[in-house]
Structure 1
Amino acid sequence: MSDIDTISAIVATPRACDEGMLDVGITPDCDGVWLNALWVQRVRPDGTYAEPEQLTDNECITPADITAEAQREFATMRITAPPAIVQGGEPMLVNVHYPAYTTAEPQELEAVLLGVPVVIRADPAEFTWDFDDPHGAGGGTLTTTDPGHPWRDGDPLPDATWVGHTYSRLGDPDTDAGVHRDAEGDVYRTDIAVTLTTTWQGRFRLQGTSTWTDIDGAITTTSTTDPATVTEARTRLVCEDLHGNSFC
Structure 2
Amino acid sequence: MSTTIVGLALSAAVVAAAVVAGGDSEYVSDAVNNDRYVVGAVGESSDGSAPAGGADKPQDKYFRADAALCNATAGLDEVELFHVAGACPDGALDVTISAAGCEPGAVELADLWVQRVQADGSYAEPEMVSAADCVTPADVAAEARRAFEALQIDPPVASVQGREPLLVNVHYPARAETGPLEESVTLLGVPVTIRAEPVEFTWDFDDPHSAGGGTLTTTDPGRAWRDGDATPDDSWVGHRYTSLGDPAQDAGTDVDAEGDRYRDDVTVTLTTTWQGSFSLAGSATWTPIAGAVTTTTTLDPVTVTEARVRLVCDDVENSSTC
What TM-score range do you get, normalising by the shorter chain? 0.7 to 0.9
Is 2:129 aligned against 1:35?
no
Q: State the match for 2:169 in structure 1.
A: 95
CA displacement at 1:41 relative to structure 2: 3.0
* Partner in structure 1 of residue 245 of structure 2: 171
Equivalent position amino acid for 2:102 in 1:
C
Q: 1:110 to 1:97 in 2, by over 3 A?
A: same
CA-to-aligned-CA distance 1:29-70 (integer Å, 9 cap, x gap): 213111111223345455665322112211111101001111
2:138 is paired with a residue whose SS is: helix
Distance (Å, rounded) in 2 between the aligned partners of 1:236 and 1:157: 23
> How far 1:27 moved relative to its partner?
3.6
Task: Report the Cα distance in structure 2 between the residues aligned to 1:58 and 1:65, rounded to whole angstroms.
Answer: 14
Contact 1:83–1:224, Cα closer than 8 Å, also in 2: no
- Which structure ranks higher in relative contact order (CA pairs < 8 Å, sequence separation ≥ 6)? 1
- Aligned-partner residue type, residue 169 of structure 2: N
Q: Trace 1:123-134 onto structure 2 (pairs within 5 A).
A: 123-134=197-208
Instruction: Give CA-to-partner distance per residue, 1:156-178, whole Å, 9 cap, x none.
Output: 11011000000000011111111
Report the Cα distance in structure 2 between the residues aligned to 1:67 and 1:97, rounded to whole angstroms: 44
Partner of 2:61: none
Deviation of the 1:241 alpha carbon: 5.5
Could you tell me which residue of structure 1 aligns to residue 180 of structure 2? Answer: 106
Find the aligned partners of 1:53 and 1:145 in 2 and give their Cα distance: 54
* Distance (whole Å) between structure 1 residues aligned to residue 115 and residue 140 of structure 2: 28
Pick aligned residue for 2:159 from 67, 85, 98: 85
Tell me the equivalent position of 2:189: 115
* Residue of structure 1 aligned with 2:141, choices 67, 72, 75: 67
Partner residue of 2:306 out of 232, 237, 243: 232
Q: Which runs of 5+ in 1 are unaligned?
A: 8-17
Corresponding residue pairs, total: 233
What are the residue-to-residue correspondences of 1:142-161 with 2, within 5 Å? 142-161=216-235
Select between 154-163 and 70-79 the one with higher mean Cα deviation. 70-79
RMSD: 2.4
TM-score (norm 2): 0.67
Q: Deviations over 1:188-236 (max 9, x none)?
A: 1111111100000000011222211001111100001100001111111
- Bigger fraction of residues in helix: 1
Gaps of 5+ in 2: 8-72, 77-92
Percent of pairs identical after alignment? 61
Q: Which TM-score applies when normalising by structure 1?
A: 0.86
- Given that residues 84 and 194 in structure 1 are in contact (C-alpha distance below 8 angstroms), is that contact kept between their aligned partners in structure 2? no
